[in-house]
Amino acid sequence: SIIVLDFGSQYTQLIARRLREDKIYCEILPYHTSVEDIKVKNPKGIILSGGPSSVYNADAYEVDQGVYSMGIPVLGICYGMQRIAVDFGGSVIRSSHHEYGKAELKLETASPLLADCDDGRIVWMSHSDKVDVLPEGFAPIATSDNSPYAAIANEEKRVYAMQFHPEVQHSEEGYLMLRNFAKNICGVTEKWKMEHFLKEQIKIIREKVGTGKVLCGLSGGVDSSVVAAMLYEAIGDQLIPVFVDNGLLRKGEREQVEEVFKINLKTPLITVDAVDNFLGKLEGISDPEQKRKIIGHTFIEEFEKEAKKHDGIKFLAQGTLYPDVIESISVNGPSEVIKSHHNVGGLPDWMDFELIEPLRELFKDEVRKIGLELGLPESMINRHPFPGPGLAIRIMGDVNVPDLTILREADVILLDELKASGYYAKTWQAFAVLLNVKSVGVMGDNRTYDNTVCVRVVEAVDGMTATFAHLPHDLLERISRRIINEVDGINRVVYDISSKPPATIEWE
Ligand code: XMP
C-alpha cells in the first residue's frame, strides 16, 4: 500500500481517490504517526500531503525523520515538498509571487516520476511559500513561470517533491504522476475495488443498526438518495426517510422531491413542514457561518422532533461526503475550516442521534457510480448538487421572504435556459446569487435603482476544484435579458468568472 501522511490539506483525500481510481490501496494517517506505526502497515511508499501552515514557523508540523530512512520512496506535495526541502538541508521562504490556480509545467530532466507526461501541460498551484535553496543531491525536474522548482527529485534516494497539486482534477497529467510514483517507483501491486465498498458498507450498517430504526434525512439530491438506497438494502423497513421543507428550497422543489420518491423509494417518505421554524431563526442573521450553524442545528431539531413520533430511532443517516468533512472541520488537527457544511460543522453538541454516514470518505462522482450500481435513475444521479443550507447562502445578507421569492424566479430562469441549451448536463452546478447590491438602471424612460443577480455556473468533477463555465455569450445574453425582464426588482445581472481556488463555488 501507499501511506499518505496528512498535514491538513484540503486535497488529502483526493490523493487517496486518485490512487483508488488506479486500484491502488492507500491509507491516510496523521502527519505525526511514528515510523514504528507506519512500518506495521508494511507500505511500499510514503506521500507527504499539502497543508495550510508554513515550514519556517516555530510550531510547524513535522514528520518522524525516520520515514526518510525506511528504504521506501517518498513523495512530497506542496507543504510536503517544503517539508522535504527543509528536512534535507535546503530552505523555504515566503514568495513575493503567490501562485494560485493554473500554471504551465515545463519538463526539464527525464525522471520516472514524469514518465509519459507531456511538456507544457497545466498543473494547479495553491501556495504562497516556495523552496529557495535546494538541498544537496536534489535537482529540478520540472519548472513553471513562477516556480523554478515546480518538481524536484533525488533519484538516488528516491525522494520526489512537487510544488503543485497533482491530485486535483485540473492538474492535467497529475494522475499520471501519482500512478508513476505508486506503480513504477514504489512497485505497488495490490488491488482496490469499488464493488467491495458497497458490500462492505451494507454489512457494517446491518451490524451497527441491529433491530433499531434509522431516520434518514433526504434532500432529493444524489448523496442522501444513495444513502437511503443502501440503507434499504441493508435494513429494509427499519428505514424512516424524512424530507424537511426548510423554506430555502428552489421553486417547485418540494413537489418534485415528493414525486420522485413516490416512484423510487420503497418506504413512504415523510415530509416535515418546517418553513416557519427555519425562517424565524434566520431572521436578521447575515453572517455566513452563523447562518450555516443555525440551519445545521434546526435540521437536527426537526429530525429529533420527528424521531419522537416513532419508536426505537437511535440513528440518523446522512449523505455526508468527504468534501463536506474536510471543508468543515480539522480532521487530524491541521486543516483549516473553510465553511461549516450544514451536516458536519453545523451539528449541535446536544444531538442524541448516533450518525450513519457510509459515504464519508467518497467524492460525488464516486457516489454517482454507486448510485448507478444500486439502480437509481440517471435523472436523479445527474442532478446538480444543491447545498443543505439552500438559498440562504445565496442571499448576501439576511434571509427574508421577498428576497427568497426574487432569487427563486431568477434561479428557475437560469436552469430553464441551461437545460434548453444542453449546458445543464455539461456543467457541475449552476445557480443565481442575490447580491443585495443596488445599482442604477433605465427601463423605458424611467430610472431604476434595483438589486443585482449574479449567475454562477461552474465545471468540476468532484467540487474540490472548479472553473467557471465558458458559456456562449448569446446564452449569457438570453439569461440576463430574461432575468431582468421577468423578475421584478432586478435591473442588473453579472457573471461570476472566478475559479476554486481561490474562490469557492458558493458565495457563503
Ligand atoms: P464550496 O462552496 O465549498 O462548495 O466550493 C462545494 C460543493 O459543496 C456544496 N455545499 C454544500 N453542500 N451542505 C451541503 O450539502 C453544505 O453546507 C454545503 N456548502 C457547500 C456546494 O453547493 C458545492 O457543490
pLDDT at 332 over 50: no
ipTM of the complex: 0.98
One domain, residues 48 and 156: yes
One domain, residues 253 and 317: yes
Residue-wise DSSP of 289-351? HHHHHHHHHHHHHHHHHHHTTSSSEEEEE----HHHHHHHS-SSS-PPP----TTTTT--TT-
One domain, residues 173 and 248: no
Annotated binding site for ATP: 219-225
The last residue of one of the domains, among 185, 208, 238, is 185
CATH number, domain of 419, equals 3.30.300.10
**Using CA positions, which residue lies closest to atom 4 of ligand 1?**
505
Per the domain annotation, does 503 fall within a domain?
no
pLDDT at 331 over 60: no
d(CA 314, CA 215): 8
Ligand 1, residue 429: give the atom nearest the CA.
Answer: 24
C-alpha 462 – ligand 1 centre gap (Å): 11
**Would you place residue 334 in the very low, low, confident or very high pLDDT band (cuts 50, 70, 90)?**
low
The gap from C-alpha 335 to its chain's centroid, in whole angstroms, comes to 14
Q: For the segment 250-304, what is each residue's pLDDT rounded down to a tens digit?
A: 999 999 999 999 888 888 999 999 999 999 999 999 999 999 999 999 999 999 9
One domain, residues 362 and 318: yes
Average pLDDT over residues 69-94: 97
d(CA 385, CA 390): 10
Q: For the segment 348-371, what is each residue's pLDDT rounded down to a tens digit?
A: 989 999 999 999 888 898 899 899
**Would you place residue 27 in the very low, low, confident or very high pLDDT band (cuts 50, 70, 90)?**
confident
Per the domain annotation, does 386 fall within a domain?
no
CATH number, domain of 360, equals 3.40.50.620
> Is the shortest distance between the CB of 296 and ligand 1 below 6 Å?
no
One domain, residues 470 and 367: no
Ligand 1, residue 393: give the atom nearest the CA.
Answer: 19
**Active-site positions?**
78, 165, 167
One domain, residues 176 and 307: no
Alpha-carbon torsion 9, 15, 20, 21, what sign? positive
**Would you place residue 373 in the very low, low, confident or very high pLDDT band (cuts 50, 70, 90)?**
confident
Number of structural domains, the chain? 3
C-alpha 464 – ligand 1 centre gap (Å): 10
**What's the one-letter identity of residue 138?**
F
Per the domain annotation, does 393 fall within a domain?
no
Domain that holds residue 299: 194-381
Per the domain annotation, does 66 fall within a domain?
yes
One domain, residues 207 and 170: no
Helix, coil or strand: residue 9:
coil
Residue 423: what pLDDT? 98
The residue to which cell 500531503 is assigned: 49
Ligand 1, residue 346: give the atom nearest the CA.
Answer: 17
Task: State how beta strands 139-143 and 121-133 pair.
Answer: unpaired
One domain, residues 314 and 175: no
Q: For the segment 198-256, what is each residue's pLDDT rounded down to a tens digit?
A: 888 999 999 999 999 999 999 999 999 999 999 999 999 999 999 999 999 999 999 99
The last residue of one of the domains, among 158, 185, 212, is 185
CATH number, domain of 61, equals 3.40.50.880
